[in-house]
Amino acid sequence: MFGCFNRKFKISEWQPPPDVREAFRRYAEGADHMTADQLLKFLVEYQREDGCSSADAEAIMQKVSLRRHHTTRRQGGLTLDDFFYFLFQDDLNGPINSQVHHDMTAPLHHYFIYTGHNSYLTGNQLSSDCSEIPIIRALENGVRGIELDLWPNSSKDNVHVLHGRTLTAPIPLIKCLTSIRDHAFVKSPYPVIITLEDHLTPQLQAKVAGMVTQIFGDMLYYPESEGLEEFPSPEALKHKIILSTKPPKEYLGSNKDGEKDSSEDEQLLRETSDPMPEPEADDKVNQIGSDQEDEDSDASRQKSGTLAAPEYKRLITIRAGNAKNGLRHALRNGADKVNRLSLNEQRLERAVTLYATDLVRFTQKSILRVFPKSIRVTSSNFKPTRGWMHGAQMVAFNMQGYGKSLWMMHGLFRANGGCGYVKKPDLLMMGGSDNEVFDPKLTLPVKKTLKVTVYMGDGWRLDFSHTHFDAYSPPDFYTKIYIVGVPADAAKKKTRVIEDDWTPYWDEDFAFPLTVPELALLRIEVREHNRSEKDDFGGQTCLPVSELRPGIRAVPLYDKKGQKFKSVRLLLRFQFE
């Protein structure tokens, strides 16, 4: 009884925005074609690419000519349409530097490190399978921190990787280690840190030591003497694998003669072979599976006395500590030693509230790892910026936990060529004359203003079916822009909705005053306006503000899982004032 409502279906022609036309006219000096020298001048002056050379400009012209006209060089140079085409190619004109360009010679704790949590899980934290596939995928995406939970198998004679006290199906440790060896440096040459959550007997620890040395061989790095005076640099650890966990206890208790009773040893060994005891009632809310890892994961092996495996202990490069004497004590006293402290997101929140500057000061000398609270059974994640702005180097994420938090993680680690190590800004590593350090809660003066012009978007008609957004008409796209960083810099803006167009043209300007641009992320999301239901997702990206290249740039968009669309991209301009 109600007739179908059809809107006119149209696909707009690609048209260069006025700013693109003006830039071409200016640098082509009014001619119909732009020469290589003129293109170079545009790249250096307008795009601020100071390191660009004549050879770079020539290479761009050849690639554009080959792609558009199937020849390596056209007579006369680039036309306006060629120039517009070049600007819209993210591999030729992307928003950030695609090469490693940070100083990689500082100690490890000077870097944010791309870190996974429960890296072996394929899905949720309670019942998904354990597999080497998520480990391989993480390494191939540039993740440098892999977490493995080690448990005795049912016969207590070998080591399994699984999420303890859950229904997750185990995988043999040797399979995980072999996969790490084979894929560690496919994406990045910089070191892979394996964080071990260890629930093993001394005999099984010794077995792990044998596996690790045999499988990794010369790839394995560990200090020659016990303990490190200073962390090595990512550059010094290229193509190396390092272990991080708590060192096993040497002994616990003795008889009156100072020697342990052998029968007691046997009893303690039997205890360590049993499953971990149930947590106390107060802990159950905060502990599903074995995510209490750095608080009490070594509770059973502390009973193992003089049986602690020395060959296992010597392989531990980054030694984990705990906060058993209180978090403030650990932050203030642990920073004098080279070690690692782990906090779940809830303890981080408490530390941020009570000891924010102690956190920052601690991370100037030692490594802080933050991991999701255990009630995140669906493998969701928390907002990572809270850890980063307090200096936490290893913000550990469920890489299968897709969502906005993971998009931010992807965004930060697109920096520095996607190598998995991002140099922390100087403000997090410096102290004042009175030993004062950066406090994210303080509102500082505006340091610079980021101006973003959203020109247009394209590619949806190639990557989506024509009925994906609307069965009867083209989509109605709009773009949302967020600044994520210190509280004072948080902001969100959006363009108007462009109706019935696969190639939306907005040409809108936005300004974002930034007090701490070094810690800011630019998050962009395109959505399709829906009159009767929730707006449809049309792509997203997240980029570190400190890495943005000024000028007119092609910005590729990604799907909800962080996979890059083949064709969907935006044309934006970035300016800093």
C-alpha 152/C-alpha 205 separation (Å) is 10
CATH number of the domain within which 211 lies: 3.20.20.190
Counting the structural domains of the chain, the total is 3
CATH number of the domain that 63 lies in?
Answer: 1.10.238
d(CA 383, CA 361): 21
The verdict on whether 70 is a catalytic residue reads no
- Whether residue 532 is found in the same domain as residue 383: no
Q: State the pLDDT confidence band at 250, using cuts at 50, 70 and 90.
A: low
Longest CA–CA span in the chain (Å) reads: 97
Q: How far is CA 170 from the centre of its chain?
A: 26
Helices 327-334, 345-363: crossing angle, 10 deg rounding: 20
- Strand pairing class (159-161; 340-344): unpaired
110 annotated active-site: no
The alpha carbon dihedral of 435, 441, 443, 447 has a sign of positive
Out of 102, 109, 110, 117, pick the active-site residue. 117
Per-residue pLDDT, 130: 97
pLDDT tens-digit map of 522-568: 999 999 999 888 999 999 999 999 999 999 999 999 999 999 999 99
> Which residues partner with 130 through β-bridges?
121
pLDDT at 186 over 80: yes
Cα distance between the two ends of the chain: 58
- Please indicate, yes or no, whether residues 372 and 419 belong to a single structural domain of this protein: yes
Q: What is the pLDDT of residues 206-238, one digit of tens each?
A: 999 999 999 999 999 999 877 678 899 999 999
CA distance 351 to 344: 11
∠ CA 182-183-184, rounded to 5° = 105
For the chain, the helix, strand and coil percentages under 3-state DSSP, each to the nearest 5: 30, 25, 45
In a domain, 93, yes or no: no
Domain hosting residue 558, numbered range = 448-576
Tens-digit pLDDT profile for residues 475-489: 999 999 999 999 999
**To 10 degrees, what angle do helices 18-27 and 36-45 make?**
120
Residue 2 lies in a domain: no
Catalytic residue among 102, 110, 160, 163: 163
**Are the beta carbons of 97 and 47 closer than 8 angstroms?**
no
Task: Identify the CATH number of the domain in which residue 497 sits.
Answer: 2.60.40.150
Calpha distance 389→385 (Å, rounded):
6
Q: Are 21 and 484 in contact (CB under 8 A)?
A: no
Does 387 lie in the same domain as 415?
A: yes
